[in-house]
Amino acid sequence: MRTAAVILAAGQGTRMKSSTPKVLHTVAGTPMVAFGVEAARQVTGEPPVLVVGHGADRVRSALGDRSRYALQAEQLGTGHAVLQARELLEGQADVVLVFYADMPLIRSETLQALLHTRQAGGAAIALLSVIPDEARAFGRVIRGPGGEVLAIIEDHECTPEQKGIRELNAGFYAFDGAWVWGALARLPLSRKGEYYLTDLVALASADGRRVEAIPCEDPAEVLGINTRVDLAEAERFMRQRINTAWMLAGVTLADPATTYIDASVSIGRDTTILPGCHLVGRTTIGEGCRIGPEATIEDCEIADGCRVTLSVLESAVMEEGSNIGPFSHLRTGARLGRGAHVGNYGELKNSTLGPGGKMGHFSYLGDAQLGENVNIGAGTITCNFDGVRKHKTVIEDDVFIGSDTMLVAPVHIGQGAKTGAGSVVTHDIPAGAVAYGVPARVRSTPAPHEPGATKE
């Protein structure tokens, strides 16, 4: 039995008061629509049909081939929106799953339960209902004397008596694929000039077809986002869900309430995340790491056994056993080799500090390539930008750079060389040499028979 999904994402979302389409606002670092798309794919095995309208091009650009698309050019209601998928799906699916793109907390397990209910009873419609602690502006589920579902009445059309009904329509449906398209074409026009998807329930009842309603055990799953207040509430629930999942997977979160982990982040077991951390984007963290407190890490690769303390990392790589912080910054393109150390107030940009390297404090490496076991003294700076172009600094293995050295790129420091404190290096230094002064001059070189020997 083939199941297809239709996700409604055409609304303007005016209450968000934003130039960004509502469904592209993020929850846990991911556009809210992407959660529904993934949940639908998990239960159907194929990309859903996304009905787009407002901001259609931006939505398509954000999701790419994760969805198929149907355009609702006129906003004529939810029933009209689903009908736009008819050309793609009629005759192609035995069951049509329909829900809204602004409900990112829905679980695939809940959708699967809904599909099972429809199939087990042969219903024309199975829908998800909810009994929340507080009343919401959802449609009311109207049941008959025997408990059968007769209709859904929208909140604004409810009588005072109907408003007292606690069972609400959550907005998730599984339809008989052979019945739904013809039924959509028979929907009546509402007083607001729209075609309501919820009126299919009354049509099914009139056709003598069964309608099932199953309760959603967790009301948070059907939280719809209409305002920034709703967005913040969904973020809170999603963060709790993500944090709980990582703790159950073997990650220690010292204070989950102050730990922010995007849905796209991956963390190895036996890693400890201390309070105040933000793990963002496509970040991967290995096993046995210690992150924080107060670390912000975005789009980074961190290997096993690393430590990050009170620092900011973005689009950077830390190899096994390396460490950084406190108060340091790895910018785009930075890489710490195996066992490398960056202490306080260090910054790397588009640079590699090789295995075993040490950069203790108050230093900057930009557009630099460092070999193994290089020591960077306090206050060292690579002067990589001449006002027009950026230039590269290359430092070979086992080099000792004295405190307050200025390396004016392009410059190449040979293996085992040293610079004196306060040196301004404007020319290459051969292997094994010692240079110091302003400007720095080579004061000693290897013996003539040694590799890298030069005349002063």
Q: How far apart are CA 44 and CA 37, in angstroms?
A: 11
Please give the C-alpha separations between residue 203 and each of 173, 187, 376, in angstroms, as whole numbers: 15, 8, 76
Catalytically annotated residue among 25, 341, 361, 427? 361
What is the dihedral sign for C-alpha 428, 434, 436, 442?
A: negative
In sequence order, which residues have a C-beta less than 8 Å from that of residue 123 and are 6 or more positions away? 117, 176, 204, 209, 210, 211, 212
Beta strands in 379-433 (DSSP E): 381-383, 393-395, 400-401, 406-408, 411-413, 418-419, 424-425
CA geometry: angle at 112 spanning 110 and 118, to 5°?
110
DSSP state of 416: T
* Ordered alpha helix ranges (H), 186-227: 199-206
**Cα(268)–Cα(61) distance, rounded to whole angstroms?**
32
361 in catalytic set: yes
CA distance 26 to 379: 40
Cα angle value 184/8/173 (rounded, 5°)? 60
Catalytic annotation, residues: 361
